[in-house]
Amino acid sequence: MAVGVFAAVLLACFYGDFPIPAGDVVQSLLGQGTSSTDFVVIQLRLPRALCAVAVGAALGASGAAFQALTRNPLGSPDIIGFTSGAATGALLQILVVGGTALAVSAGALVGGLASALIVYLLAMGRGAVGYRLVLVGIGLNALLWAVNSYLLITADLDDALSAQVWIVGSLNGRSWDQLWPVVGVCVLCLPLLMIAARPLGLLEMGDDAAKALGVHADRTRIVIVILAVALAAAAVATAGPIAFVALAAPQLAKRLTGSVAVGVLPAALMGAFVLVTSDFVAQRLFAPVQLPVGIATGCIGGLYLIWLLLSEWKKGRG
């Protein structure tokens, strides 16, 4: 999968609206290109592709953590309101405060954590797990989208337009400046999440069985929620609430690796791969129109969601 991600990034560097011979791209990547190819490859294509990698990895990992936590393939942050919460936070920043990119990121982070906290508190009873969390989250998700729509309608037209593009989820024109925050969060949170998620497979057996094996059930859950929300919020802050990557990537990775548990690392790699290729396809398929990647993932993800609901329903759990 890592190879797939690498190949997809290279592909995204080699092809674009502005045709550049492969040899020149290689020279640019190696730091020996001309200034014009350097600009296209190093300043436009590479950061965009790497951005897709980081955002996809963050979404995939976050999705894997939440799905394992809720023991439900529907329990991903884009379904249970965390990404829409992050979007609300970011929208408030864009439309009301009108802050910088960094402020928007902070807004998304605060919004994501706040909605996670609300869902957790509302769903909490005897151990906030499973369906309660998913159902409460879906409710909050609907509510937050209503708030988001309201914010957009009442906003100034120009602001609303840029906010709307952002809300669909797009990697258009992402530069190095926007890349670093999300990479930072990934570098910090991904390894921590991988460590924290080790006992997650044990929690799937029920709290008693996990505790009997020496797992701190509640502490594990809280640490994972914080890390996973931070990852999802960082991704949303960078590229907008890109639909369905967090939902689909862990399940795809699970099927591909043939493992029982949803692994954080495979899901992160799969998320990166899905997003880079989706972005590439969205760019190239309708070139020169630059479709936001969120539309591509939304189309694929929507079909996947229908299939998932049907198969869950057949199993008698949906």
Q: Using CB under 8 A, list all residues that contact another protein.
A: 71, 195, 199, 201-202, 204-206, 208-209, 211-216, 260-261
Identify the DSSP state of 287: T
230: its two tokens: 């931070």
211 CB contacts (<8 Å, ≥6 apart)?
217
Nearer to another protein, 59 or 210 (CB): 210
Nearer to another protein, 48 or 71 (CB): 71
Shortest Å distance, C-beta 223 to another protein = 14
Identify the burial level of 81 via C-beta atoms within 10 angstroms of its C-beta, where 0-12 means exposed, 13-18 middle and 19 or more buried. Answer: buried
93 CB contacts (<8 Å, ≥6 apart)?
99, 103, 104, 106, 107, 108
Shortest Å distance, C-beta 90 to another protein = 35
Shortest Å distance, C-beta 195 to another protein = 7
Nearer to another protein, 114 or 261 (CB): 261
Residue 133 CA to residue 11 CA, distance in Å, equals 40
Region of 292 (left: φ > 0; alpha: ψ -120 to 50; beta: rest) is: beta
Nearest to 69 by CA among 136, 129, 149, 127: 129
Nearer to another protein, 65 or 215 (CB): 215
52: its two tokens: 């897709």
Residue 316 CA to residue 318 CA, distance in Å, equals 6
Alpha carbon 275 to its chain centroid, in Å, reads: 9
Shortest Å distance, C-beta 106 to another protein = 32
Shortest Å distance, C-beta 229 to another protein = 24
306: its two tokens: 């229908």
Residue 116 CA to residue 224 CA, distance in Å, equals 12
Q: Of how many residues is the chain composed?
A: 318
Residue 59 CA to residue 232 CA, distance in Å, equals 5
Shortest Å distance, C-beta 69 to another protein = 13
Shortest Å distance, C-beta 202 to another protein = 6
Residue 170 CA to residue 290 CA, distance in Å, equals 10
Shortest Å distance, C-beta 209 to another protein = 4
Nearer to another protein, 71 or 174 (CB): 71
Nearer to another protein, 121 or 195 (CB): 195
Nearer to another protein, 195 or 303 (CB): 195
Contact between 6 and 12 under an 8 Å Cβ cutoff? The reply is no
Shortest Å distance, C-beta 71 to another protein = 8
